[in-house]
Structures are given as structure tokens and as C-alpha cells.
């Protein structure tokens, strides 16, 4: 992996304690605790702007305005990713720190933030209100303390992480900066208890079966797409899957038919497949195709009247998140571990499906971490966030970031 070794050779990660001894870095780390109210208020304000995948523009514009107010050069790319730049002494290499803008909630969801004691409640407050507030807070803290990085730091609020967004925002960022990019830090949700270094591979497929359609009584005996879908689906859910490597499937959405007394002309099904192993994913995808094919065949063979038309079927890939894994000797992971040690934090390695899947699948160093505080109920209307202690998560992210970007020596400023 050439890019990973580029990071290893160019500079070992700076230790967190030597970083924190530098007056500017110390000032940036201390900035968070002094500005907690501003950070919490920003998080609420951003959360209250609806931002379903593919409709992130308004929230993006707000993030852009805050970056611009800090005097950072900022641009919006053609997908809607907002990218601010903190120019380093070495502008030929960069580190990306990113948080996704989008939520799983439709635009008409009530996203007004409610307060219950110290707890904030609103759909999207933690995932990813916490990450968004954090990248903006990190930008402000670095600017306020006049920290100049060695490598350029790109701070991005990206589109398309959730659902059928299919990581399109991160794909575009990686495409755009590929040659200069040395590491990626994704801030997603709350907490400081984990670090995602393994990308969970997933595939999403849509099954469509069509037929002639007809009357439930007079055309009885004709092939029925819903029957075929049910026959195929029953076969598929009986497919054996391994406990290890952990592999899952979900029949998540089903559609079809027009009325109870019509033989439908169409049946559709969306399926989500995930696995720790790319091979299992390939096997499961081909099992789905075989089962649907057999379901269609069974329905056709059982039809009493085949003269009235036949069934057609397709299985299309509607989403794919590639897998990947950070090496145990990763400088980025070493920087995160150094930050944890310095802050007295403990975190466990996780495998998950995040924006970090894209760089990890390409051999680019990447992790996803929470941005501090505590949260829960992600993707539900009961989602909540408690900001107490969030400054530690922010310091952890910043020390990891500066660990891999480096800080420019005094004379280079």
C-alpha cells in the first residue's frame, strides 16, 4: 500500500504530550472547554435544519457560513460537500477530517431540539449533529490559537453517508484529493469509547419481478410476480449463513400490486447484505440471484395457464460499500492511541460501515470515531445527546489530527 507507507516514512505521528507542550496547541486544546455553550448551540442549530440524504443544501450552507466567518478558504463541490482548508507548511500533502451532513429522517420530520435537564433530544442530534459541531469547533479552535499545521488540513462536511446516499460525498472527496491525501479521520456520532478501523462491507440489491397482470378470478392460474417473489424470498431466508465471519441479511422493503382483486404486474424487494468477509458477501449475493431465479421458475411451473404471459426478473445492485482494514502498524492508529493515552481514555477497535469504508478500501489510512459526549437512539425519533465531558472527545480528535498532520516549526510560520 504505497500511500500508507508514504505516511509512515514522511513523519512518525507526533506524541500527544509533545504536541500539547506547544503553546499554540495547548491554547487550541483549551479552547473547547471555554466555548462549550457556543459548540452546544451550534449543534442544536444545525440539527434543526432538515437534511435528508440528497437534500443537504441548507445545512451545508450554514456550515459553510461558519467556516467562512473564521476566515478559512471554503468551497462547495458539485455534489454539495463543503470543504474548508487550513493551509499547511507542506501543501503537497493533506489530511482530511470529515463529518456527514445527512440524516435518515424525511424533510417533514420534527427536528426541533427538546431539552430534558442536560439532555438534548431531536432526530439527528447525535448522528451527526455531534460530528458536524466538532469539525467546526476544531476549525475555530485551531484558528483562534493560530496553529499552523505541517500538512494541509481539510475540514469537510460531506453529503450522502446514510442509506442510498451510498457514501457518494466521501467517494467524491477521495477522488478529488487522492494524490495528496495521507489520512482520513471521520467524526460520526458521539462517545470516545471506540475507534472504527475495519470497514464492514455491504451490498444493497433490488429485486424486480414483472408479469402480465390480470383479474384475480377470471385470470386465475396466470403467473403472479408476488407469488414468485415470496417463493424466492422463502428460499433465500433459509440460506445458511456463517456465525463467523459475521454475516447478515435484511429483507427491508417490499412493494407491488395495485389492489386485492388484481393479479399484480410487478413485485419489488430491497435487500441489505453485510459481512465481515467480502467472499461471504459475493456468495450471499449469488444465493439471492439463484433463489429469485428458482422462485420465478417454481411459479412458472405451477401456473395452470401459461398462455397468458410469462415472468421477467432482475436483481440490481443499488448500493455497495467496500470493505477494508487499517494495518496494526498504522501511524494514524498510533496517533489515536497516543491521544487516548494522553487523555486517559480507553477505546476498543470496531468494525462498522461508515464513510471511512471508502478510503480504507483504497488502502488510504482512515478511522471513524465519535466526537465526544454521550448519545443514543441513532436513526430513531427518540435520538438524544448529552454534552457533558464533550471537550475530551474534541481534544482526542484534535490531537489525533495534529498527530498525523504535524505542526509547522516556528521558523516556517
How near is the Cβ of 372 to Zn ion at its closest, in Å? Answer: 15
Strand 201-210: give its sheet, edge to edge: 247-256, 266-275, 201-210, 312-321
At residue 400, what are phi and psi to the nearest 5 degrees? -65, -45
As a whole number of Å, the end-to-end CA separation of the chain is 32
Measure the CA angle with vertex 342, ends 356 and 100; round to 5°. 25
Name the residue nearer to Zn ion (CB basis): 98 or 311.
Answer: 98
How near is the Cβ of 127 to Zn ion at its closest, in Å? Answer: 4
**Cell numbers given for 344:** 486517559
**Cell numbers given for 166:** 451510498
User: Measuring CA to CA, which residue among 190, 50, 85 is closest to residue 130?
Assistant: 190
Coil, strand or helix at 156: strand
Name the residue nearer to Zn ion (CB basis): 128 or 224.
Answer: 128
Contacts with Zn ion, residue ranges (CB under 5 A):
127-128, 188
**Cell numbers given for 12:** 512518525
How near is the Cβ of 124 to Zn ion at its closest, in Å? Answer: 9
Residues sharing a CB contact under 8 Å with residue 34, sequence separation 6 or more, in sequence order? none
**Cell numbers given for 52:** 435528508
**Cell numbers given for 16:** 500527544
How near is the Cβ of 388 to Zn ion at its closest, in Å? Answer: 21
**Cell numbers given for 48:** 434543526
Query: Is the Cβ–Cβ distance between 125 and 383 less than 8 Å?
Result: yes
How near is the Cβ of 96 to Zn ion at its closest, in Å? Answer: 16
Give the count of beta carbons closer than 10 Å to the beta carbon of residue 130: 30
User: Measuring CA to CA, which residue among 18, 9, 4 is closest to residue 341?
Assistant: 18
**Cell numbers given for 330:** 498504522
* Residue position matching grid coordinates 442549530: 45
Before 117, cis peptide (omega within 30)? Answer: no
* Strand-pair partners of 151: 90
Name the residue nearer to Zn ion (CB basis): 128 or 247.
Answer: 128
Mode of pairing for the β-strands spanning 194-199 and 324-325: antiparallel
Whole-number Cα distances in Å, 142 to 23, 71, 74:
12, 12, 15
**Cell numbers given for 218:** 377470471
Residues 40-62 as b/e (b if ≥16 CB within 10 A, e otherwise) read bebbbebbbbbbbbbbbeebbeb
Name the residue nearer to Zn ion (CB basis): 72 or 98.
Answer: 98
Name the residue nearer to Zn ion (CB basis): 127 or 280.
Answer: 127
Name the residue nearer to Zn ion (CB basis): 19 or 200.
Answer: 200
Name the residue nearer to Zn ion (CB basis): 128 or 192.
Answer: 128
How near is the Cβ of 324 to Zn ion at its closest, in Å? Answer: 18
How near is the Cβ of 134 to Zn ion at its closest, in Å? Answer: 12
Name the residue nearer to Zn ion (CB basis): 269 or 378.
Answer: 378
How near is the Cβ of 368 to Zn ion at its closest, in Å? Answer: 9
Name the residue nearer to Zn ion (CB basis): 290 or 386.
Answer: 386
Query: Which stretches of 238-330 are DSSP H helices?
Result: 278-302
How near is the Cβ of 384 to Zn ion at its closest, in Å? Answer: 15
Name the residue nearer to Zn ion (CB basis): 345 or 352.
Answer: 352
Name the residue nearer to Zn ion (CB basis): 311 or 369.
Answer: 369
Measure the CA angle with vertex 151, ends 200 and 63; round to 5°. 65
How near is the Cβ of 120 to Zn ion at its closest, in Å? Answer: 17
How near is the Cβ of 189 to Zn ion at its closest, in Å? Answer: 5
Amino acid at each position: 500500500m504505497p500511500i500508507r507507507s508514504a505516511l509512515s516514512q514522511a513523519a512518525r505521528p507526533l506524541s500527544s504530550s509533545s504536541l500539547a507542550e506547544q503553546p499554540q496547541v495547548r491554547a487550541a486544546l483549551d479552547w473547547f472547554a471555554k466555548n462549550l455553550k457556543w459548540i452546544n448551540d451550534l449543534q442544536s442549530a444545525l440539527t434543526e435544519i432538515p437534511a435528508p440524504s440528497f437534500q443537504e443544501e441548507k445545512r451545508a450552507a450554514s456550515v459553510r457560513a461558519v467556516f467562512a466567518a473564521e476566515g478559512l478558504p471554503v468551497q462547495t463541490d458539485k455534489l454539495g460537500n463543503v470543504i474548508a482548508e487550513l493551509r499547511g507548511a507542506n501543501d503537497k500533502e493533506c489530511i482530511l477530517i470529515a463529518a456527514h451532513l445527512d440524516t435518515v429522517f424525511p424533510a417533514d420530520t420534527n427536528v426541533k431540539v427538546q431539552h430534558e435537564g442536560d439532555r438534548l433530544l431531536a432526530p439527528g442530534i447525535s448522528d451527526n449533529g455531534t460530528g458536524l459541531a466538532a469539525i467546526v469547533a476544531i476549525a475555530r479552535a485551531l484558528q483562534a490559537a493560530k496553529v499552523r499545521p505541517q500538512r494541509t488540513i481539510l475540514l469537510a462536511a460531506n453529503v450522502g453517508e446514510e442509506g442510498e446516499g451510498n457514501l457518494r460525498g466521501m467517494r467524491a472527496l477521495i477522488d478529488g484529493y487522492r494524490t495528496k491525501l495521507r489520512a482520513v479521520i471521520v467524526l460520526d456520532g458521539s462517545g470516545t469509547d471506540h475507534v472504527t478501523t475495519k470497514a464492514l462491507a455491504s451490498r444493497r440489491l433490488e429485486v424486480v419481478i414483472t408479469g402480465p397482470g390480470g383479474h384475480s378470478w377470471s385470470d386465475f392460474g396466470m403467473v403472479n410476480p408476488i407469488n414468485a417473489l415470496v417463493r424466492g424470498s422463502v428460499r433465500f431466508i433459509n440460506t445458511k449463513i456463517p456465525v463467523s465471519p459475521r454475516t447478515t441479511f435484511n429483507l427491508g422493503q417490499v412493494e407491488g400490486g395495485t389492489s386485492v382483486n388484481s393479479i399484480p404486474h410487478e413485485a419489488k424487494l430491497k435487500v441489505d447484505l453485510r459481512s465481515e468477509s467480502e467472499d461471504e458477501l459475493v456468495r450471499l449475493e449469488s444465493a439471492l440471484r439463484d433463489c429469485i431465479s428458482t422462485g420465478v421458475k417454481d411459479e412458472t411451473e405451477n401456473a395452470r395457464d401459461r398462455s397468458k404471459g410469462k415472468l421477467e426478473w432482475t436483481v440490481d445492485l443499488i448500493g455497495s460499500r467496500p470493505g477494508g482494514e487499517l494495518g496494526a502498524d498504522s501511524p494514524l492508529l498510533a496517533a489515536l492511541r497516543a491521544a487516548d493515552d494522553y487523555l486517559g481514555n480507553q477505546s476498543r477497535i470496531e468494525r462498522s460501515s461508515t464513510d471511512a469504508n471508502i478510503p480504507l478500501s483504497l488502502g488510504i489510512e482512515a478511522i471513524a470515531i465519535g466526537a465526544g459526549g454521550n448519545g443514543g437512539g441513532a436513526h430513531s425519533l427518540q435520538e438524544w445527546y448529552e454534552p457533558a465531558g464533550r471537550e475530551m472527545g474534541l481534544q482526542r480528535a484534535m490531537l489525533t489530527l495534529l498527530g498525523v498532520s504535524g505542526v509547522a516549526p516556528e521558523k516556517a510560520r
